[in-house]
Every structure is written in C-alpha cells, then in structure tokens.
C-alpha cells in the first residue's frame, strides 16, 4: 500500500470512501494518534485519487462523480465478468474444482481413483491403492502430483477452500499477473500433495495447500515489499495459522476435525513463503 496523505482525526471520510470505491480505487484508511492516513493500493490510480481528494477537500459534492462511475461500471453482471477476466487463472481453477465436485456426485469413487495421487482400485467396500506415484508417472499419468488439489469431499470443504482461493488469487493476478498466479498454483499444488504423500497418505484432496501458499506469499509481499500493493489483515493471518496448528492437535480430532491434510497445509505454506521471500526481495531491489 502507498501512503497518500494524513487527514485530521475528526475528518468524516465516508463520502470520500464511497467515491473512491465507486471508481474502483483500492484504498485503506488507518487511524493512529496523529490522525487518519489514506493509503492507495495501485499507484497507477494516484491521479484519479488526488482529483477526488481535491474535490472532497474543497467541499465539492462527489455524488455526480460516483454516478458517472456507476454508469461506466455497468450492471452487476458486467462487474462479475470483468472480475473473471482480471483473474482468469483463479476463475478457471475455481471452476475446475466445482466441475470435479459435480463429477464426484455423479460418478463417485471413479473420479477419486482417477485424480488421487496414486492409481486406486474401486472395491465394493471403497477405494484401495493399487500402485505407486513413481509407477503412475512412468505410465504417463503426469497429472497425479497436482490433481488431488481439485478433489473436495464435502460442501464445507469446497466452500472454505474456494473462498480463500478467490480472495488471495484475485489479489495476486491483479497485482502481478496470471503467470505468477499459475506458478504459485502449480508449485504449491505439487509441493503440498508431495508433502502429504511423503507422510504416508494416498487418499486426500483439497485446494487448502494452495490457499496456505497464497497466504504466505501475500503476507511476505505485504511485509517485505509494502510498495507492491499487497495487503492481508493481520488477524486473518493469525486465524489461518492458528487453524493449521489446531488441526495438528488431538483436540481437533475430538471435535470432529481429525481427518485433515496437515502435511499438505504445511507444505503449501512453505512453498508460498519461499516464493514470497524470493519475489519480495526482487521487488525491493527494483525500488
């Protein structure tokens, strides 16, 4: 985030914030002992922000400007279409997860057997392992190190993972492009799955390893390269890391959260932190 201006502590910024959001200008206003500080997410929008700020400071009404922005933005469906176009990798990943979930509802264990990290046989009592990852790769099944990330075993599992994927993935694509998001998706998906497989598990799935990688990446970018525009609320970091640690304890099993791919979460987080450290270092050298 980029610091723009310090405002008086008693300034009523509601009208200004409404106008900024109407113009799709990402921003934050923080408060401290000295007053309120206005921050800008994308430096390319600085000129537009300063124009609105000057109008607000001079007492000019901002409603007309907000109306123009709304007409330019179009209906809600247009906003959704733009959001999907701005984050195509995130949107495609989300759509593929939904498609796989629907296929699981129709074809059941056959989908799991096809996308699990090792080839599985489907027996009357459920699935069973019939091969190893090395054998699968030698047989040309190169999708298996990544494909378990697209498996979800319940609505809550799916919704929880898709919310964080959309929240963090859009931010990465908006600020650094689809190529960076694709890199994180592939590296974290494979890294998280291999970490879980190394722990001796063959039947697992979910995008949560990628979600934790995105968390680590966005957090490090925001901390080490604040000019990059990344932002994640500190309490969200505490919550997600606390949840990861909680699911590793015996208490999680006692309340019904024992069947969690903990190694995948940790593996994804490590990949995200490594990528975040590397790219935040590059961003600092270039500024």
Whether 79 is catalytic is no
Active-site choice (23, 27, 152, 265): 265
Whether 23 is catalytic is no
C-alpha span between 201 and 129 (Å, rounded): 10
- Residue 213 CB contacts under 8 Å (≥ 6 apart), including other chains: 184, 187, 188, 191, 192, 268, 269, 271, 272, 275
C-alpha span between 177 and 182 (Å, rounded): 9
Active-site choice (147, 178, 208, 222): 208
C-alpha span between 115 and 201 (Å, rounded): 14
Residues labelled catalytic: 208, 265
């Amino acid at each position: 985030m980029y610091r723009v201006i310090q405002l008086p502590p008693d300034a009523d910024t509601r009208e200004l914030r409404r106008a900024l959001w109407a113009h799709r200008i990402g921003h934050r206003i923080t408060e401290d002992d000295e007053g309120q500080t206005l921050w800008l997410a994308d430096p390319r929008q600085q000129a537009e922000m300063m124009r609105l700020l000057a109008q607000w400071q001079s007492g000019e009404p901002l409603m007309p400007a907000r109306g123009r922005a709304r007409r330019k933005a179009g209906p809600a469906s247009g906003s959704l279409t733009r959001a999907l176009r701005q984050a195509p990798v995130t949107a495609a990943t989300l759509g593929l997860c939904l498609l796989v979930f629907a296929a699981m509802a129709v074809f059941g264990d056959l989908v799991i057997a096809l996308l699990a990290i090792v080839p599985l046989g489907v027996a009357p009592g459920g699935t069973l392992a019939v091969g190893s990852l090395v054998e699968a790769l030698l047989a040309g099944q190169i999708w298996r190190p990544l494909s378990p990330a697209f498996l979800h075993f319940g609505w809550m599992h799916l919704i929880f993972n898709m919310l964080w994927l959309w929240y963090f993935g859009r931010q990465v694509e908006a600020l650094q492009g689809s190529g960076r998001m694709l890199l994180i998706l592939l590296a974290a998906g494979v890294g998280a799955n291999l970490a879980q497989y190394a722990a001796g598990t063959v039947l697992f799935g979910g995008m949560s390893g990628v979600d934790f990688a995105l968390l680590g990446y966005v957090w490090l970018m925001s901390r080490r390269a604040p000019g990059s525009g990344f932002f994640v609320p500190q309490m969200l970091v505490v919550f997600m890391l606390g949840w990861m640690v909680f699911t590793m304890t015996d208490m999680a099993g006692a309340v019904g959260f024992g069947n969690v791919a903990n190694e995948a979460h940790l593996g994804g987080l490590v990949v995200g932190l490594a990528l975040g450290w590397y790219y935040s270092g590059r961003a600092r050298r270039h500024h």
